[in-house]
Copies of this chain bind each other. A is one copy, B any other.
Amino acid sequence: MKPRTIAVVLLSLFGAAAAWAQSGPTPVREDFKPSTLNQPGQEYPQVNSQRYARFRVVAPQAQSVIVSLGGREGTPLHKGEDGAWTGTTAVPLDEGFHYYRLSVDGGTFNDPGALNFYGSTRWESGIEVPAGDQDFYALKDVPHGRVEQVLFPSKSTGTVRRAFVYTPPGYDRDVAARYPVLYLQHGWGEDETAWSNQGRAHLIMDNLIAAGKIRPFLIVMTYGMTNDVRIGGLAKFDFNPFRTVLVDELIPYVDAHFRTLPDAAHRAMAGLSMGGMETRWITLKHLDTFSHIGLFSGGSISPADVKATPGFKEKVKLVFVGYGSRELAPPRAGALAGFGGDPRADTEALAQDGIRSVFYVSPDTAHEFQSWRRCLFQFAPLLFRE
Q: Which A residues are closer than 8 A to B by beta carbons? A: 39-41, 57-64, 83, 102, 104-110, 112, 115-116, 121-123, 139-141, 144, 146-153, 160, 172-173, 175, 202, 206, 227, 257-258
Tell me the number of copies of this protein: 2
Q: Which residues of B contact A104 (CB under 8 A)?
A: 59, 62, 104-105, 107, 109
Task: Give the contacting residue for A112; candidates B83, B105, B122; CB below 8 A.
Answer: B122
Kindly list the 6 A-B residue pairs having the minimum CB-CB distance in the complex, ordered from nearest: A59-B107, A144-B151, A61-B105, A60-B106, A62-B105, A109-B109
The distance from the CB of A155 to the nearest CB of chain B, in whole angstroms, is: 10
Q: A146-B150, A153-B141, A227-B40 are in contact. Are A108 and B112 (CB under 8 A)?
A: yes
Inter-chain contact B61/A63, CB cutoff 8 Å = yes
Other than the given A104-B109, A172-B258, 11 more pairs (CB < 8 A) read A40-B121, A59-B106, A62-B105, A107-B112, A109-B110, A112-B122, A115-B123, A141-B153, A146-B148, A148-B148, A149-B149
Q: Which residues of B contact A172 (CB under 8 A)?
A: 257-258
Inter-chain contact A121/B41, CB cutoff 8 Å = yes
Inter-chain contact A59/B141, CB cutoff 8 Å = no
Contacts A/B (CB < 8 Å), 26 sampled = A39-B122, A57-B107, A58-B107, A58-B108, A59-B107, A60-B105, A60-B107, A62-B62, A62-B104, A62-B107, A104-B105, A107-B112, A109-B110, A110-B110, A116-B116, A141-B160, A144-B150, A146-B149, A146-B150, A147-B149, A148-B148, A149-B149, A151-B206, A172-B258, A173-B257, A175-B175
How many angstroms between the C-alpha atoms of A167 and B255 in the bound complex? 18
Inter-chain contact A59/B122, CB cutoff 8 Å = no
Q: Which residues of B contact A202 (CB under 8 A)?
A: 149
Q: Which residues of B contact A140 (CB under 8 A)?
A: 160
How many angstroms between the C-alpha atoms of A107 and B59 in the bound complex? 4
Q: Which residues of B contact A61 (CB under 8 A)?
A: 63-64, 105-106
Q: Which residues of B contact A105 (CB under 8 A)?
A: 59-63, 104-105
